[in-house]
């Protein structure tokens, strides 16, 4: 009977802390071991409390993260060349951006052939939705297009909207990676947690690459969505070789 009461007390305490905002949507909860130590119970009892809250849809768990408050992920479309701020606003949520780096630097060796310039503007930022950090990104843009930019200007509007050139499209590569110490700290996730990595090369209307970005997304708060049109009846089955793809 005492064990039954203890598990209910732990569950009620977590409900209260979630309701008061101590743990926000997507926020990590104490581990089973931490809850057991705090409340002086076994891990079995702590796990029972967490399992009850998960069954109620209040919390969830995932490998690499542990237990967290259930959240409605931001659905980011991969179909359109638009800014994340616009997608957040379209979802009736509140965007936020924090600049953590703004510097003109020599072009990194792996970008020199892509951007064809000796100097780039390097911008580091943390993207937020409803106040929660869900992505960290680094953007490199050709210095000739970034000469008139300032940190204050980038706090007001996205970089891609201030380049003064018409954008023609982008190529993206998506992969899964483990969070480094720095990225984990900025996203508020455990070091080594699985993240989504998106590398994008954006080109002007004439096909000239103008910027490269690398972003890391917290999968508890963001998900990537792509619409796949039906394959024409006369199309060959299986994989198709695209011979006119834009250069990376």
Which pLDDT belongs to residue 233? 64
38 and 86 co-located in one domain:
no
Confidence of residue 224 (pLDDT cuts 50, 70, 90): confident
160 and 193 co-located in one domain:
yes
Least confident of 48-57, 70-79, 122-131: 70-79
24 and 90 co-located in one domain:
no
Q: Is 203 inside any structural domain?
A: yes
Q: In this model, does residue 231 exceed pLDDT 70?
A: no
54 and 95 co-located in one domain:
no
147 and 211 co-located in one domain:
yes
Which pLDDT belongs to residue 212? 95
Q: Is 247 inside any structural domain?
A: no
Crossing angle of helices 43-55 and 2-19, in 10° steps, is: 50
86 and 156 co-located in one domain:
yes
Which pLDDT belongs to residue 143? 92
128 and 191 co-located in one domain:
yes
100 and 22 co-located in one domain:
no
Alpha helices in 56-170 (DSSP H): 84-90, 112-115, 143-146, 151-156
Q: In this model, does residue 238 exceed pLDDT 70?
A: no
What is the average per-residue pLDDT within 87-91?
A: 88
Distance in angstroms (rounded) separating the CA atoms of residues 125 and 187: 11
Which pLDDT belongs to residue 77? 80
Which pLDDT belongs to residue 240? 53
Give 157-206 pLDDT, tens digit per residue.
Answer: 888 888 888 888 899 999 999 999 999 999 999 999 999 999 999 999 99
Taking the alpha carbons of 105, 108, 113, 114 in that order, is the dihedral positive or negative?
Answer: negative
Distance in angstroms (rounded) separating the CA atoms of residues 65 and 63: 6
> Which domain range does residue 174 map to?
74-225
């Amino acid at each position: 009977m005492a064990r039954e009461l203890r598990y209910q007390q732990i569950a009620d305490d977590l409900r209260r802390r979630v309701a008061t905002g101590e743990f926000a949507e997507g926020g990590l909860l104490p581990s089973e071991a931490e809850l057991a130590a705090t409340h002086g119970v076994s891990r079995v009892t702590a796990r029972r409390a967490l399992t009850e809250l998960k069954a109620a849809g209040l919390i969830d768990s995932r490998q690499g993260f542990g237990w967290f408050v259930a959240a409605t992920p931001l659905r980011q479309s991969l179909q359109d060349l638009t800014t994340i701020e616009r997608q957040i606003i379209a979802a009736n949520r509140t965007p936020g951006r924090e600049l953590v780096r703004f510097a003109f630097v020599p072009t990194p060796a792996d970008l020199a052939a892509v951007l064809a310039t000796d100097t780039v503007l390097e911008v580091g930022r943390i993207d937020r939705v409803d106040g929660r950090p869900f992505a960290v990104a680094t953007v490199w843009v050709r210095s000739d297009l970034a000469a008139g930019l300032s940190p204050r200007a980038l706090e007001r509007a996205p970089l891609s909207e201030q380049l003064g050139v018409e954008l023609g499209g982008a190529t993206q590569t998506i992969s899964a990676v483990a969070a480094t110490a720095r990225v984990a700290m900025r996203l508020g996730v455990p070091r080594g947690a699985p993240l989504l990595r998106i590398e994008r090369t954006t080109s002007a209307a004439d096909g000239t690459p103008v910027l490269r970005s690398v972003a890391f997304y917290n999968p508890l708060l963001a998900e990537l969505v792509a619409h796949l049109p039906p394959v024409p009846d006369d199309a060959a089955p299986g994989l198709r070789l695209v011979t006119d793809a834009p250069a990376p």
